[in-house]
């Protein structure tokens, strides 16, 4: 069995791979082996590294199996049957899995929970340590920015190439969807012998968790969702991003750091005025003997921030400084950021990324609202990659998948109101769907705010631990993080 496991793992590391369904064990087969994880400071801990073979496409016959990776920490102190395990569903989609020599993720994300229950990280089908890992060759003759006029056509062509590549290898790409990934979680629960599980979803992992809740409600004891992406939230909301910037700006305007520098009307109005001015009069910046054009599309693309924060400083802390440069007519840093090499590398996204996200898609009503959003005048459309790529990908999880749902499973929903990736408004839209849910607003919290909130607020940290242990009737208030180290 160890030899078989070693051969499977070696095969999973090959990119691209020629092994496929007919050479795999049947769905339901599980292979696992012990590894040691570096915990830092010379400590190591055992972890179970495993592969579960799951159906490649449950809605079709004779499509064979694919390999889903997982990582499991056994509870410190031994089994506790009444305590459900914590199933961690990561973000992206793009979770690559964990390197056994990396201490940081254990110290930051697993150590505390390791004392409560078994902790299981669930891999994403078709991504990272999965087999196959459906990486795509990068788009050609373009840069990794939608400001390049060739970007849209290059993305569409790269999507066609990637889809054809994996179909020619015998991969049933129709099975690379979020509903199938939700069924993977259920299959893994059964394979590991758990009656129920606690879901901990992060960003895309919340979208994935909601699909598990919808499809297998009796299998979930409790759920924690961190930075919520609802069923119809795959396409990002420019209005929500602008409102997050408004909250950041309002906080900066109250800071003594900018006491004598807040522009008339505030930072947001200054940003809008600069963008409107560039609509009529683009700015030309001399850089290394060339003229670089800074027009309104460039400014919209950088409106969410383009300056690099110093080490240990939150990225939001440099945003007001960028606006101050703009209103002083200083665009050299913008030109430098625009001119910075931005290459794809050997691989781009994956077929699974596009099948997951394009399959989740967007409802017609929300698409119409986003297309006509007045905020698009001031922040670049965050969904351009979907507009160009998704017509080439066949997945569609359906209108019912994107619709609202109700659940009585106890839920703790945690969301930062400075989150530019999954705006706070996502959580407001979703909170009524959780009949036994508690929504915690992390003021000044960015993407993935639960971790900063737990570190900053001991009471909140204790509440999260209590919830994981089964205390669901908790009075949990909002958390306010300290202001960032605002930069000039």
* Bond prior to 436 in cis (omega within 30° of 0): no
| Mean pLDDT across 342-347 | 67
Output 22 or 425, whichever has higher pLDDT.
Answer: 425
Residue 97 pLDDT > 70:
yes
Please tell me whether residues 96 and 205 are part of one structural domain: yes
Please tell me whether residues 73 and 184 are part of one structural domain: yes
- The DSSP 8-state label assigned to residue 462 in this structure reads H
pLDDT band at 338; cut points 50, 70, 90: confident
> 225 is written with which tokens?
């969702």
Residue 358 pLDDT > 60:
yes
The answer to whether position 281 is within a domain reads yes
Please tell me whether residues 184 and 271 are part of one structural domain: no
Whole-number Å distance between alpha carbons of 351 and 127: 8
Please tell me whether residues 52 and 197 are part of one structural domain: yes
Q: Where are the alpha helices (DSSP H) in 331-431?
A: 332-339, 351-360, 364-371, 384-389, 399-402, 424-430
Angle at CA of residue 201, ends 133 and 32, nearest 5°:
50
pLDDT band at 182; cut points 50, 70, 90: very high
Please tell me whether residues 130 and 64 are part of one structural domain: yes
Number of domains into which the chain is organized:
2
Q: For a pLDDT cut of 90, what percent of the chain falls above it?
A: 73
pLDDT for the residue 104: 66
Task: Using DSSP bridges, classify how beta strands 43-55 and 30-40 pair: parallel, antiparallel or unpaired.
Answer: antiparallel
From 339, 358, 392, the end of a domain falls on: 339
Q: Are 465 and 112 in contact (CB under 8 A)?
A: yes
The answer to whether position 25 is within a domain reads yes
The closest alpha carbon to 389, from 424, 357, 342, 425, belongs to 357
Whole-number Å distance between alpha carbons of 93 and 385: 14
CB atoms within 10 A of CB 482: 8
The answer to whether position 239 is within a domain reads no
Tell me the per-residue pLDDT of 378-431, one tens digit each, with 9 for 90 and over.
999 999 999 999 999 999 999 999 998 999 999 999 999 999 999 999 999 999
pLDDT for the residue 77: 84
Task: Using DSSP bridges, classify how beta strands 437-443 and 479-480 pair: parallel, antiparallel or unpaired.
Answer: parallel
> 92 is written with which tokens?
């992206």
Q: Residue 47 maps to which CATH number?
A: 3.40.50.1820
Whole-number Å distance between alpha carbons of 80 and 84: 8
Please tell me whether residues 29 and 113 are part of one structural domain: yes
Please tell me whether residues 97 and 32 are part of one structural domain: yes
Whole-number Å distance between alpha carbons of 226 and 249: 24
Average pLDDT of every residue of the chain: 90
The label of the residue with tokens 């969301």 reads 415
Of 22-26, 351-355, 370-374, least confident by mean pLDDT is: 22-26
Residue 14 pLDDT > 90:
no
Residue 6 pLDDT > 80:
no
From 339, 355, 386, the end of a domain falls on: 339
Whole-number Å distance between alpha carbons of 72 and 91: 18
| Mean pLDDT across 74-79 | 86
Q: Are 348 and 135 in contact (CB under 8 A)?
A: yes
Task: Using DSSP bridges, classify how beta strands 411-416 and 65-73 pair: parallel, antiparallel or unpaired.
Answer: unpaired
Whole-number Å distance between alpha carbons of 302 and 308: 12
Whole-number Å distance between alpha carbons of 479 and 488: 27
Please tell me whether residues 115 and 212 are part of one structural domain: yes
pLDDT band at 8; cut points 50, 70, 90: very low
The answer to whether position 192 is within a domain reads yes
Output 414 or 338, whichever has higher pLDDT.
Answer: 414
The closest alpha carbon to 415, from 169, 244, 257, belongs to 244
Range of the domain at 303: 263-339
Tell me the per-residue pLDDT of 269-297, one tens digit each, with 9 for 90 and over.
999 999 999 999 999 999 888 999 999 99
Whole-number Å distance between alpha carbons of 375 and 239: 5
What are the φ and ψ backbone dihedral angles of 221, each rounded to 5 degrees? -80, -45
Residues recorded for the chain: 488
Of 108-112, 167-171, 385-389, least confident by mean pLDDT is: 108-112
The answer to whether position 121 is within a domain reads yes
Please tell me whether residues 221 and 279 are part of one structural domain: no
Please tell me whether residues 222 and 328 are part of one structural domain: no
pLDDT band at 345; cut points 50, 70, 90: low
Please tell me whether residues 74 and 126 are part of one structural domain: yes
DSSP string, 306-347: -SPPPTTS-GGGGHHHHHHHHHTT--HHHHHHHHS-----S-
Coil, helix or strand at residue 192: coil
In angstroms, what is the C-alpha Rg of the chain? 23
pLDDT for the residue 348: 79
Output 442 or 96, whichever has higher pLDDT.
Answer: 442
| Mean pLDDT across 24-52 | 86
The answer to whether position 142 is within a domain reads no
From 274, 306, 339, the end of a domain falls on: 339
Enter the pTM of the model: 0.92
> How large is the angle between the packed helices 449-456 and 458-469, nearest 10 degrees?
110
> 120 is written with which tokens?
């299981």
Which residues contact residue 164 at a Cβ distance below 8 angstroms, ignoring those fewer than 6 apart? none
pLDDT band at 15; cut points 50, 70, 90: very low
Coil, helix or strand at residue 59: coil
Laid out side by side, the sheet with 411-416 consists of 30-40, 43-55, 65-73, 119-122, 86-89, 197-202, 220-226, 411-416, 437-443, 479-480
pLDDT band at 112; cut points 50, 70, 90: confident
pLDDT for the residue 381: 94
Please tell me whether residues 12 and 67 are part of one structural domain: yes
The dihedral built from the CA positions of residue 434, 365, 147 and 127, taken in this order, carries a sign that is positive
pLDDT band at 102; cut points 50, 70, 90: low
The answer to whether position 129 is within a domain reads yes
The answer to whether position 22 is within a domain reads yes
> 250 is written with which tokens?
């309002």
């Amino acid at each position: 069995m160890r030899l078989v496991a070693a051969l499977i793992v070696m095969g999973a590391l090959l990119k691209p791979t020629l092994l496929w369904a007919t050479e795999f064990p049947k769905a339901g087969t599980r292979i696992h082996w012990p590894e040691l994880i570096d915990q830092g400071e010379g400590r190591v801990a055992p972890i179970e590294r495993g592969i579960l073979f799951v159906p490649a496409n449950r809605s079709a016959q004779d499509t064979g199996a694919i390999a889903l990776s997982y990582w499991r920490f056994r509870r410190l102190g031994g089994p506790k049957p009444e305590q459900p395990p914590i199933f961690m569903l990561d973000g992206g989609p793009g979770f690559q899995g964990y390197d056994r020599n990396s201490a940081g993720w254990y110290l930051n994300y697993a150590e505390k929970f390791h004392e409560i229950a078994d902790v299981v990280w669930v891999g994403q089908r078709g991504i990272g340590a999965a087999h196959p890992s459906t990486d795509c060759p990068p788009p050609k003759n373009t840069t990794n920015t939608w400001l390049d006029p060739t970007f849209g056509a290059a993305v569409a062509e790269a999507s066609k190439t990637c889809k054809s590549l994996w179909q020619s290898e015998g991969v049933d790409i129709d099975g690379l969807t979020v509903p199938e990934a939700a069924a993977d979680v259920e299959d893994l629960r059964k394979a590991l012998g758990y009656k129920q599980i606690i879901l901990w979803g992060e960003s895309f992992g919340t979208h994935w968790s909601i699909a598990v809740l919808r499809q297998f409600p009796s299998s979930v004891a409790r759920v924690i969702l961190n930075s919520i992406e609802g069923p119809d939230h795959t396409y990002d909301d420019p209005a929500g991003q602008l409102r997050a910037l408004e909250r950041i700006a309002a906080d900066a305007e109250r800071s003594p750091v900018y006491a004598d520098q807040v522009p008339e009307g505030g930072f947001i109005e200054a940003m809008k005025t600069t963008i409107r001015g560039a609509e009529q009069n683009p700015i030309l910046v001399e850089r290394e003997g060339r003229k670089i054009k800074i027009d309104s599309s460039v400014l919209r693309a950088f409106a969410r921030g383009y300056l690099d924060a110093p080490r240990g400083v939150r990225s939001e802390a440099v945003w007001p400084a960028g606006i101050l440069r703009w209103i002083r007519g200083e665009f050299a840093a913008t030109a430098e950021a625009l001119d910075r090499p931005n290459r794809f590398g050997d691989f781009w996204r994956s077929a699974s990324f596009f099948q997951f996200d394009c399959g989740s898609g967007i409802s017609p009503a929300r698409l119409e609202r986003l297309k006509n959003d007045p905020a698009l005048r001031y922040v670049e459309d965050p969904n351009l990659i979907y507009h160009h790529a998704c017509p080439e990908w066949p997945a569609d999880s359906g209108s019912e998948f994107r619709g609202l749902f109700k659940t009585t499973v106890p839920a703790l929903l945690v969301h930062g109101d400075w989150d530019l990736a999954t705006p706070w408004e996502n959580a407001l839209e979703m909170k009524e769907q959780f009949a036994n849910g508690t929504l915690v607003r992390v003021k000044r919290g960015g993407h993935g705010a639960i971790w900063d909130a737990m570190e900053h607020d001991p009471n909140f940290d204790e509440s999260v631990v209590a919830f994981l242990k089964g205390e669901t009737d908790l009075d949990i208030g909002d958390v306010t993080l300290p202001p960032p180290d605002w930069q000039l």
